[in-house]
Chains A and B, each alone.
Chain A
Amino acid sequence: MDNSLLRINNLSSGYGDFQALFDVSFCLEKNSVLGLVGANGAGKTTLFKSILGLLPREKSMIQFQRQDIGHLSANKLAGLGIAMVPEGRRLFSSLSVYENLQIAADYGRKGYWTIERVFELFPILAEKQKMPSLSLSGGQQQMVAIGRALVANPEVILFDELSLGLAPTVVNDVYAAMPSIIESGISAILVEQDIERVRKISKNLVCMREGKIVLSGAASQFTKEQLTTAYFGE
């Protein structure tokens, strides 16, 4: 039985004349986490931008629930159920924590995740809901970014550099929420620099280098050495 939710088929893309992705193919299964690792410049963020339609791609290069979606814009993809937690959070700086979540509730899909449920997941946000979003610490801002994506009730969340710039204890807090998110029926692609952490949480793993996939398969089948070699090259 085909359990695929999001399928990337020979995706090639880039910035103008510069090609950054070369025939990238993989599949995200339903109710699972796919870890995407690679050094800086490997093409991970470019891949997310291509999926979201911020960079050129062809219709059949991306399939969601077996439908071609490579021609759709970011707002239409959000309607289908693809959300993103972008690198650097990108919160709405003039809005409060509550308003950042409210806008996702207004424009997103209806479902299990509500603002109240996000506050249960991250109780600190309930305490700080009236505060300007940018007055929060980096970890709390990351929680707002995750909460904002959740309130839109997506099928898939693309997490870009979830732990970037956060203290290790804060990263633990953020990752502690992941099981609840996956249990609610959301699948995720997780871009992360920390190979060990991503290997533990992911069902499948993809390693990229210089815009190409150099290793992919079940996360449990790879040793740390294999991953390190794929990550940095020979």
Chain B
Amino acid sequence: MILKSLPKKQIRVFLVLTLITIILASAPWWVSRADIRLLGEFYSFLALAVLWNLLAGYTGLISVGQQAFVGVGGYAMFIVTAKLGISPFLSVPISMLAAALIAGVFAPLLFRLNGAHFAIGTWVAAETISLCFFMVPELGGGAGMSLPTDVVKSIASSRAMREMTIYWLMLGLGLGTIFAVYALLLSKTGLALMALRDNEIAAASLGINIWKTKFVMYIAVAAATGAIGAVIFFQKLRISPESAFSLNDWTIIIIFIVVIGGIGKLEGAIVGTIVFFILRETLADYGVVYLIVLGVFAIIIMMFSRKGIWGMFEEKFKRSLLPVTREP
């Protein structure tokens, strides 16, 4: 039904995405174990970048506190599996709920702020949540905790199978996020998000409820980020407040990815993640130089193309990989 109502070029995109998903799902049979881990990590960063882009690039909510939801998702998974004995697979939706709940508590406070104040507010909220986990000795306090062996084995009995399962979960979340966000952008709400990004007052005067739209997006992005957090820590098997609520790992790098790829474009997050992983895998052995190169690269992109690498490409070739334009 949904496919029937879509223009041909968008149906083509969904079919190509499905084909890519099938090919990537078979990767464990033709890719090394090390590369499977790397791909899994790639999908998690891809999903985080797509979600942050949705929040900042479409909804206008520049958050530097998304690490809060990665951390809450990760800890929720540890609590329900290690402390309550619930299946690791059930822990993913529970992590989503936990992250959505925390976002729901903070959103009414944060939404009183705008622009830079909102950004700082989200950061402060994330630090506050992180400190709360530091103070819980049952969760290992600042040292954190490891996932008990029986929980690890309940994911899958063998290590190879466990790695494959986690890979598929990450693939599902990574490409599932792209599918979901693309479908959202093609919907009535997606058009409203773009209108809201362009001009809030004009959007409101047409009947779009700005507060509600932003609130729903913030909660949905937090929930999805929580799920990704849970799966990230399936792979890591150990959690601590420092790793779970890392500003650098879960927000700064994600902002870097979206900025160099192209903010406000779904393709921008994808291109940015690919470029980041190429840079990281090429330069990781050079220590601090790696970070300097990343910084310089981001500055150059921002100076010469505010729309990022994808924006530059799109402007030059007038091509869109994931078109969201509606036609009569």
By a beta-carbon cutoff of 8 Å, the part of chain A in contact with chain B is: 52, 54, 73-75, 77-79, 83-84, 86, 90-96, 98-99, 102-104, 106-109, 115, 129-130, 148, 152
Contacts and interface: CB of A to CB of B under 8 A. Distances in A.
A95 B204 contact: no
A54 B194 CA distance: 21
Contacts of B209: 75
Contacts of B205: 52, 74-75, 77-78, 83-84, 86
21 contacts: A74-B205, A75-B204, A78-B204, A83-B206, A84-B205, A86-B202, A90-B202, A92-B195, A92-B198, A92-B202, A95-B191, A95-B198, A98-B326, A99-B194, A102-B191, A103-B203, A104-B206, A107-B207, A109-B207, A130-B327, A130-B328
A185 to B, nearest CB: 19
Given A96-B325, A98-B326, A99-B191, A108 B207 contact: yes
A86 B204 CA distance: 12
A115 B326 CA distance: 14
Contact of A95 (B194, B206, B207, B264): B194
Contact of A98 (B197, B207, B327): B327
Interface of B: 188, 191-192, 194-195, 197-199, 201-210, 264, 325-328
A103 B210 contact: no
Q: Which 4 A-B pairs have the closest CB atoms?
A: A78-B207, A74-B204, A107-B207, A92-B198
A103 B208 CA distance: 9
Contacts of A79: 207
Contacts of A75: 204-210
A44 B328 CA distance: 37
B194 A107 contact: no
A99 B206 contact: no
A152 B325 contact: no
Contacts of B328: 98, 115, 129-130
A124 B237 CA distance: 62
A106 B192 contact: yes
Contacts of B197: 94
A79 B325 CA distance: 26
A184 B167 CA distance: 60
A4 B81 CA distance: 65
A110 B326 CA distance: 20
Contacts of A90: 199, 201-202
Contacts of A92: 194-195, 198-199, 202-203
Contacts of A102: 191, 326
Which of B198, B207, B325 counts the most A-chain CB atoms under 10 A from its CB? B207
Nearest to A54: B201
A151 B210 CA distance: 20
Contacts of B201: 54, 74, 86, 90
Given A78-B206, A92-B202, 12 more contacts: A74-B205, A75-B210, A90-B202, A91-B202, A92-B195, A94-B197, A94-B264, A95-B191, A95-B195, A98-B328, A106-B191, A107-B208
Which of B197, B325, B327, B328 counts the most A-chain CB atoms under 10 A from its CB? B328
A71 to B, nearest CB: 15
Contacts of A52: 205
